[in-house]
Structure formats: structure tokens, C-alpha cells
Amino acid sequence: DVKVTQSSRYLVKRTGEKVFLECVQDMDHENMFWYRQDPGLGLRLIYFSYDVKMKEKGDIPEGYSVSREKKERFSLILESASTNQTSMYLCASSLVRGGTEAFFGQGTRLTVV
Amino acid sequence: EDQVTQSPEALRLQEGESSSLNCSYTVSGLRGLFWYRQDPGKGPEFLFTLYSAGEEKEKERLKATLTKKESFLHITAPKPEDSATYLCAVLDNQAGTALIFGKGTTLSVSS
């Protein structure tokens, strides 16, 4: 089975802090994604990566950056956390460029105070 | 304009009462349609992939079907453990690699 592991289930950070969310997948997938999920808005794509050191902006990249130095690891960085970034963050991976079904991690519930 | 629309937003059923969830899409070229189940506080769990109109997939009490404009997730004789949010997503020729999600249908099954 595909396993996508996010480093934290719950995080509480202060406004202005730099926040790192880490994600690791163990199935040699090419693509990795970061979504955020908010009530009434559904899942929205922040960034994705189709190869090491490659990244593309999704629908809501403002205030975020990403890093993919190794194929199995994809990090989401909140440069200066704000309260409107309080959300559930979901990492996913899929096998090949061009897309297939994606497999998700368990999610990180981030609260910015 | 939403490209993936799910209805209803919420559905309450009695145990054993069969029903269907709808997912309609307006993407230009469908490469695949995906159904997921999500329990509260957890990540979505993959259920099915459908690629072409007329295709059907089944898993236990769930059956997914696909037409040219929509997909249905049929739930036969549901049990309380089927309670969850069901998400539909599509892969579009123009959008490329990332899935486009609907907002989900929250299903509650009472005994």
C-alpha cells in the first residue's frame, strides 16, 4: 500500500512564525501535492511538484513556498504565518506525470494564533 | 465557476435506505474521475477511478458510474460505518497533473 506520511497531526504556531510542514511518500511517486481544506471551500491546491527541484503554483500559492530536494519528500513552508492560514493541510502523491489517482496523508491541522 | 459540483451537500439516511450521490463536471477533456471517502479529521481515502462513459466500479456497498457529464456513487443498504464525506475529483486535459475536487457530500447513516 502507498503510504504518505505528514510530520505532524496538529500544530499551533504564532503569527509571523516561519512554519515547515513535511511530507514523505514511500512509493517512488513522481508527483506530490499540497492542498488546504476549509469548511465550505473544499480542497484547494497550493503547490505541486512533478520532479525533484521542480514546482508549479496551484490555485492559492500566495504566502506559501515549497521545497523538493529528494523525490520522496515535499515540504510546505509558510514564510510568515497569519491567522487566515489556519486550516487543514493535506499532502498527496501520484504515480506519473499526466496524473493518476492521488494518495493522501493523514493531514496536519494547523492553528495560527 | 466550479468545474466539479457535488450534490446534495448533506444526506441523512436510515440504515438500509439506498441512495445516490451526484458529481457533475464541466472540464474540457476528462482524463479520469475519482471518488474518495474522508472521515472527520483524516485525509481522503481513495475509492475508485473511472475513465470513460459507461464504466462502473464496485466495492462492498458502493458502486460508481460515469456518464459524459456526471458520475453517481450509489450506496446500497448503507450501514452507520458508511457515514463520511464523499469527495469527487477530476483530472482535466488542461489542468494537467493535479486533481480538481468538488466540495463533497456529507453522508450520515443512522441505525
Q: Residue B98: its pLDDT value, please?
A: 86
SS3 A85: helix
Domain residue extents for chain A: 4-98
Distance CA A109, CA A10 (A): 5
Q: Each residue's pLDDT tens digit in chain B (111 positions)?
A: 668 999 999 999 999 999 999 999 998 788 899 999 999 999 999 999 999 999 999 999 999 999 989 999 999 999 999 999 999 999 987 767 788 999 999 999 999
Nearest to B91 among A90, A99, A104 (CB): A99
The phi-psi region of residue A107 (left if phi > 0; otherwise alpha if psi is between -120 and 50; otherwise beta) is: left
Confidence band for A43, pLDDT divided at 50, 70 and 90: very high
DSSP character string of B8-51? -SEEEEETT--EEEEEEE--SSEEEEEEEEE-TTS--EEEEEE-
Q: Residue B75: its pLDDT value, please?
A: 98
Q: Residue B1: its pLDDT value, please?
A: 65
Rg (chain B; Cα; Å): 13
**For residue A4, is pLDDT > 80?**
yes
Cβ pairs A/B, distance under 8 A: 62
Run of H or E residues at B71: strand B70-75
Distance CA B42, CA A88 (A): 9
Cβ contacts of A15 within 8 Å, gap of 6 or more? A81, A82, A83, A112, A113
Distance CA A34, CA A91 (A): 5
- The one-letter amino acid code at A80 reads S
Domain A4-98 sits in CATH at 2.60.40.10
Q: What is the DSSP letter of B81?
A: G
Considering only CB atoms, which residues of chain A are within 8 Å of chain B? 4, 31, 33, 35, 40-43, 45, 48, 50, 58, 90, 92, 94, 97-107, 109
Q: For residue A26, which of A4, A7, A9 has the smallest C-alpha distance?
A: A4
Q: Residue B41: its pLDDT value, please?
A: 93
- Residue B94's φ and ψ, nearest 5 degrees, are -80, -35
Domain annotation for chain B: domains and CATH numbers = 4-110 (2.60.40.10)
pLDDT digits (tens, 9 = 90+) for A48-95: 999 998 999 999 999 999 999 999 999 999 999 999 999 999 999 998
Cell 489556519, residue located: A86
B14 to chain A, minimum CA–CA distance in Å? 25
Distance CA A44, CA A47 (A): 10
